[in-house]
């Protein structure tokens, strides 16, 4: 499986504050993290995959180091990739985790 193990380890540490709420699943050739069964973020190669609610997607795509998730050859709805430069610090990683969590919670409502 192709994913950055350092990134997945950092995600696991950050998610420790949510005991039993997250599960890991092999998806898209990487490792995805699901909140109560809803995909939030993932590690695919060296990219961080993030689910983003529809009304925020354009603002997030305008940010540096962010691009559409085009895993299938065309952009996937409500998915983005963040390159390594965009999640270097723990604060940056936490931002993306919270964004993905917001998406998952919106699907549970």
- HSE (CB half, 13 Å, CA atoms) of 27? 16
Residue 32 has pLDDT above 60, yes or no: yes
**Using an 8 Å Cβ cutoff, are 30 and 12 in contact?**
no
What are the tens digits of pLDDT across the range 92-106?
999 999 999 999 999
The pLDDT of residue 74 is: 85
Q: What is the mean pLDDT of residues 16-35?
A: 90
Give the model's pLDDT for residue 71.
72
Give the pLDDT score at 1.
54
pLDDT at residue number 96: 98
Distance CA 92, CA 25 (A): 23
> Domain extents for the chain?
5-87
**Long-range Cβ pairs for the range 79-82 (8 Å, 24+):** 79/49, 79/50, 79/51, 79/52, 80/49, 80/50, 80/52, 81/44, 81/47, 81/48, 81/49, 81/50, 82/47, 82/48, 82/49, 82/50
The CATH number of the structural domain formed by 5-87 is 3.30.1460
Q: How many residues does the chain have?
A: 109
> What is the tens place of the pLDDT at every residue in 39-51?
999 999 999 999 9
């Amino acid at each position: 499986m192709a994913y950055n193990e350092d990134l997945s380890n950092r995600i696991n540490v950050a998610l420790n504050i949510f005991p039993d709420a997250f599960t890991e699943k092999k998806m898209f050739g990487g490792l995805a993290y699901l909140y109560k069964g809803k995909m939030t973020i993932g590690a695919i190669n060296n990219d961080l995959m993030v689910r983003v609610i529809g009304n925020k997607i354009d603002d997030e795509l305008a940010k540096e180091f962010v691009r559409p998730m085009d895993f299938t050859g065309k952009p996937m709805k409500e998915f983005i990739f963040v390159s390594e430069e965009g999640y270097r610090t723990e604060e940056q990683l936490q931002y993306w985790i919270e964004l993905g969590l917001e998406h998952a919670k919106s699907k549970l409502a």
